[in-house]
Amino acid sequence: MALTTYVEAIRQGIWEEMESDERVFILGEDVGIYGGAFKVTKGMLEHFGRERVIDTPISESAIVGAAIGASYVGMRPIVEMQFIDFISCAFDQLTNFAAKSRYRWGAGVPIVVRGPCGGGVHGGPFHSQNVESFFMNTPGLKIVAPSTAYDAKGLIKAAIRDEDPVLYFEHKYLYRRIKEELPEENYIVPIGKAVIRREGRDLSIITYSAVTHTALEASEALAKENIEIEVLDLRTILPLDEEAILQTARKTNKVIILHEATLTGGSGGEIAARIAEKAFEYLDGPIVRIAPPDTPVPYSPPLEEFFLPQVEDVIEAARKLAAY
């Protein structure tokens, strides 16, 4: 069986949902003729036509607003952000309209807003952000961030079928680096469920998206030192799988939280607070956060490498915590 890349898995998931449900359509900048900035929508215009693959003006607020309106009349729009950084232009539409719609008058907004996030490709401060923390404080939204090709396909399909707005953050560093065999049968990955990527006994690393692979690589190296690390991939950031978070904390008694968004106000603080509130008596050491410093993402390759959490950063922190 051929290996499928992370980016192709997303494309397949969207394609399959568009084939099976005529209400699903995609809109965004350059999604049609050009096939998307990263070719996620390649071939869709030719196959599905201009009414279902819509090139838009450069106005993220208008794109999301149009998607919300379409969802009110029974459609299921997929919005592509050319880079997820530009989602800030649609912040009002997402937080004050899409997220609050069901609460205000019972109307779901079944839209997906997806786009490439993250660093590691020297995109600079305007094309490399991880924006999940901007939206974690907004009830009514769901946020997913897959780390594997299997999850990328399964979660995009689940997001499209969801009756409420889902923000789908796909890490561009993984697009063509991560490959795996995918099942031929139709499947989804449920939103809100974390997964153990590696079993361990000495400490847990709770993470998601691209740095899941950083955690796994560090864990393999530390196993040679007889430090066995459990890696929990959240997959969904909102709602958090609190049960899985507390279960791994209670099992290993020591926790590292690893994410690529900057430290202050990041998702790690929320996860740490829940562990401190509900599993404190199980802890044998401080909850440790590994995240970039509070600066914009540098463009310079050496500075970006320093900024992003590296395998050696995880190894060093894990050694200290294991010995605590």
Q: pLDDT category, 39, cuts 50, 70, 90? A: very high
Q: What is the pLDDT of residues 98-149, one digit of tens each?
A: 999 999 999 999 999 999 999 999 999 999 999 999 999 999 999 999 999 9
Catalytic residue at 127?
yes
- β-sheet with 236-238: strand ranges across: 53-55, 24-28, 76-80, 112-117, 166-171, 142-144, 236-238
- Among candidate residues 127, 171, 213, 259, the one labeled active-site is 127
Let me know if the fold of 4-180 is the same as that of 195-322. yes
pLDDT at 94: 98
pLDDT at 3: 96
pLDDT at 198: 98
Q: Does the domain at residues 195-322 carry the CATH identifier 3.40.718.10?
A: no
Mean pLDDT of the chain: 97
Q: Which CATH number fits domain 4-180: 3.90.180.10, 3.40.50.970, 3.30.565.10, 3.40.50.300?
A: 3.40.50.970
Residue 107: DSSP 8-state: -
Amino acid in position 58: I
Tokens of 256: 């590292």
Domain residue extents for the chain: 4-180, 195-322
Q: pLDDT category, 167, cuts 50, 70, 90? A: very high
- HSE at residue 209, side-chain half, CA atoms within 13 A, is 26
Q: What is the pLDDT of residues 229-270, one digit of tens each?
A: 999 999 999 999 999 999 999 999 999 999 999 999 999 999
pLDDT at 77: 98
Structural Rg of the chain based on CA atoms: 19
Interstrand relation of 4-5 and 179-180 (parallel, antiparallel or unpaired): antiparallel
